[in-house]
Chain A
Amino acid sequence: MTSSTITPTLPDARTRLKVTAVHGSPALLSLIAMVVIFAVAVANQPGILSVPGLTLMLMSAVPLVLATQAQMLIMSVGDIDLGIGYLVGFVTVIAATVLQSSPLLGILILGVIVIAYAALGAIIQKRNVPSIIVTLGMSFVWLGLGLQFLPTPGGEAPAWLAAIGRWRPDWVPAPLVFILVATLLGWLIARRSRLGTRMRALGSSPATLEKLGWSLTRTRVLTYVIAAALIIAAGLMLASQTRSGDINSASNFTLMTIAAVILGGGNFSGGRALPLGATLGAVTLGLITVLLSLINLSSSLQSAAQGLIVLAVLAGRVITERAIRS
C-alpha cells in the first residue's frame, strides 16, 4: 500500500481500487455467502423476515461473533488461540455457579482469567514458544476447571444475565444489536486505536515495531488481555442465552472462530485484522447451522454440509484473490 516510500506521488485511483479489492474481497465473498444462505433460509421459511424470526436466527451467532473478534486480535499478532472453546465453556460454568452464588468471587475468577491471559502473552513473547501449544495446554486447564466446578451441565445464570438474554425490543432484533456492538468494538480496537496498529505491526514486522521503541511484550500482553475480555463477554452472552453452564457448550468455538477469521479475510501469518470480515465469517458459520436445521437435513449430515460449505467459501476466496492479483 505504501508505494509512497519509493516515489513521493500518491498511488493513483486504479491502484487504490485494486488494493481495496484485494483487501476487501475476502470479506466480500463471505458477505455473498451469508446473503445466499440467508436468501435460501427466507425462501424456505418466510417467517424469518420479522423481528422475532431474525432474533431466533441470529441468536446463536452472538457469542460466536464475540469470540471471533478475540481470535481475530490474537491472530493479528500472528498467534492462534486453541483454548477459546473451553474457555467460553468455563465462563458459562462460572456464570451459572459462582457468579450466581457469590458474585464477588465470580468476578474475581473472571479477573484471574484475564491475568492468566496476560501471563500467556508474556510467556509466548518472552520465551518465544508457539502460541498453539501454550493455548492447547491451557484448553486442558479450562476443561479441567470446568469439570471441577460443574461435572454435568446445569446451574443457573444470575438474574441480570438472564435479563440480558430476555431483552427483546420489538423494533430491532436484539442479537443484531449485540453483533453490531461487538463488531464496532473490534473495529475500534484493531483499526482505530494506536494499540491496534501496534498489534498488526507485531504480527507483520516485530523487528520494526521494536526499532520504533515499542515494547513487544507489552503489546502482546495487552492483545491477550483484550482478547480475554472479549472471550469472557462471549461466555457471558452464551450463558445469558442458555441460562445454564456447560463446559462443553462451546467446544466447537475453537476451530469455528479460526475458520470465521479466515473466512472473513484474515490470515495465519498475522498483521491483518478485519473486524467486519470476522463478524461476517462468524455470522455465516452461525447461519449455516440454522439453515441446515431449517431445511430438515438429517442431523447426521449436518456437520458434513457445514464442512463442505466452509471449504467452498474458502475455495471461492482463494480463486477470487488469485483472479484479482493476476
Chain B
Amino acid sequence: MTTTLPDTTSQNLRRQVSRSRATWPAWGWSLIGVIGVWLCIIAVSSGSPLQPLNQALTLAPYLVLVALGQMLVITLGPGNIDVSVGAIISMTAYVSVAISSSMGPAAGIAAATGAGVAAAACSVIAILVLRVPPIIATLATSLIVASATLLLADANRSGAAPALRDFVNARVAGIPVIAILVALVTVAVAFALRRTTFGLAVIATGQSFKAAGKAGIRVAFVTAVVYLLSGAFAGLAGALLAAFISPSTVLGTSYMLDSIAVVVIGGTLIAGGRPVPIGLWTGAMFFVLLSGLLNLVGWSVGAQNILKGVLVVLVVVISSTATKTGRSTWRRLLEGRRTSTPITKEKTHG
C-alpha cells in the first residue's frame, strides 16, 4: 500500500520481481474473481457458456465509463474522491433526453457531457479556489446537481430518442457496440496515462503532491482537468444510460459507491499514484457477473449487498499483501505488516 518505498526495499523488490519473471498484475485478483463467478454461472445455468459474459458486457461498459473518471480522481492522491458522479449521471440523463428530443441524439450526448463538465467545474472551483476538501466539494456539487435533476424531471417526461436507443443496443458480431467503444476509451486513457506528459503528471501528482509541484508540474491544472474529465465521463454515462434504461432521479445513485468499489477491486491504489485501467474492466465484469449469478441463484437484493460489501473488504485486505510485491503467501496474509508504523499513511494537508 506504499506510494513511496525506501530505496533498499525497492531494490529488494526489483530483485524479487526479476527472479520470479512474471509479475502478478494488480488486476489479477479481480480476473480470478471474474473467471470464478463465470464458472459458477455455467455450472448453475444451462445454455451457451459465452452467454453470461456477453450479457455482462451490455451492463459493464457504463460502470467502466464512470469508474474511468473515478480512477483518475483517486489516482490524484490521498483525499481525492468524486462522490458527485451518481448525481451527475441522474441529471445528465434528463439533459440528454431533453436536448435530443429537439436537436437530435448527437447534440443530446454532447449536451449531457457538457452538463457533466459544468457540474465538475463547480467542484473544481470549490477545491482549488475555496480550498474545500474534495469529498465535501463534490458532495456539495452533488447536492446542487440533485436540485437541477429534480427541476429537469419536472420539466420533461419524454423518453430517449429511438436512434440512441438503437445505438446502445446495437451489436457487432454479437458484442455490444457500447462495450467496444468504451474499451477503446479505456485503451486511450491507459495510453494517455503511460505515454503522455499529462498522464504522467497525474500519476506524479498522486505519488507525491509536493514533489510534483517542485518538479514544475502545474498541480492545480492537473487536478482541474482530472475532475472535469470525471464529470465528462459521468455525463456521457448518464446520456447512454438514459437510452439504455430510462431517466429517473435515482438512475445514478448506485454508481457512486459502485464506481469506487470497481476502481479498488481493479487494483488501483486508493492512496493514489497507481492507476490500473484494465482492472476497471475486470472489476466491473466481476460486479456485474456476480449480481447476475446471485439473481440466478435467487438471492435477495439485501443478501447481494452483504456479499458485495464483504468481497470489497476481503479484496482490499488480501490485495494489501499481494499487489506490491506480486506475491501473496498465507504466511504474509496471517502475519500482517511486520512494523506497525505506517510509513505510508500519507496525509492530506488541508
A140 touches B312 (CB 8 A): yes
How far, in angstroms, from A136 to B270 measured CA to CA in the complex? Answer: 12
**Which residues of chain B (283-311) have a CB below 8 Å from chain A?**
300-311
CB atoms of A137 and B313 under 8 A apart: yes
- Would you mind naming 28 contact pairs between A and B with Cβ atoms under 8 Å apart? A127-B320, A127-B336, A128-B345, A134-B313, A134-B316, A136-B260, A136-B261, A140-B305, A140-B306, A140-B312, A141-B305, A144-B302, A144-B306, A146-B302, A147-B301, A147-B305, A206-B342, A206-B345, A255-B135, A262-B136, A269-B347, A300-B147, A300-B150, A302-B147, A307-B147, A308-B140, A311-B126, A311-B130
> CB within 8 Å of B: which of A286-326?
299-308, 310-311, 314-315, 318
Query: Which chain A residues lie closer than 8 Å to B146 at the CB level?
Result: 303-304
A268 & B133 in contact (Cβ 8 Å cutoff): yes
B132 and A311 form a contact (CB under 8 A): yes
CB-contact partner of A148 in B1, B126, B300, B340, under 8 A: B300
Q: Quick check: is A258 within 8 A (CB to CB) of the other chain? A: yes
Contacts of A78 in B (CB 8 A): 345, 347
Question: How near does chain B come to A7, taking the closest CB pair, in angstroms?
Answer: 26
Residue of A nearest to B84 (CB): A307
The yes or no answer to A207 lying at the interface (CB within 8 A) is: yes
- Residues in B119-169 with C-beta less than 8 Å from chain A: 126, 130-133, 135-137, 139-144, 146-148, 150-151, 154
Please measure, in the bound complex, the distance between the C-alpha atom of A206 and the C-alpha atom of B347, giving whole angstroms.
12
Q: Does A216 sit within 8 A of B, measured CB to CB?
A: yes
Contact present for B257 and A139 (CB under 8 Å): yes
Known contacts A128-B320, A145-B306, A255-B83, A304 near B342 by CB under 8 Å: no
Q: Is the CB of A148 within 8 A of B261?
A: no
Interface assignment of B349: CB less than 8 Å from any CB of chain A: yes
* Distance in Å: Cβ of A228 to nearest Cβ of chain B: 16
Nearest-CB residue, chain A, relative to B310 = A141
Which residues of B, 241-287, contact A by the 8 Å Cβ criterion? 257, 260-261, 264, 270-271
Known: A144-B309, A216-B340, A303-B144. A132 touches B270 (CB 8 A): yes
Q: Are A145 and B130 in contact (CB under 8 A)?
A: no
- Please measure, in the bound complex, the distance between the C-alpha atom of A210 and the C-alpha atom of B337, giving whole angstroms: 15
Query: Please, which residues of chain A bring their CB within 8 A of the CB of B304?
Result: 144
| Other A-B pairs beyond A127-B317, A262-B136, 6, CB < 8 Å | A128-B344, A132-B81, A255-B135, A255-B136, A304-B143, A304-B144
CB distance from B217 to the nearest CB of A (A): 22
Q: What residue of chain A has the Cβ atom nearest to residue B312's Cβ?
A: A137
Residues of chain A within 8 A of B46, CB atoms compared: none
B8 lies within 8 A of chain A by Cβ: no
Q: Which residues from 30 to 58 on chain B have a C-beta closer than 8 Å to any C-beta of chain A?
A: none
Q: Are B320 and A129 in contact (CB under 8 A)?
A: yes
Q: Which of chain A's residues 239-275 have a Cβ closer than 8 Å to chain B?
A: 255, 258-259, 262, 267-270
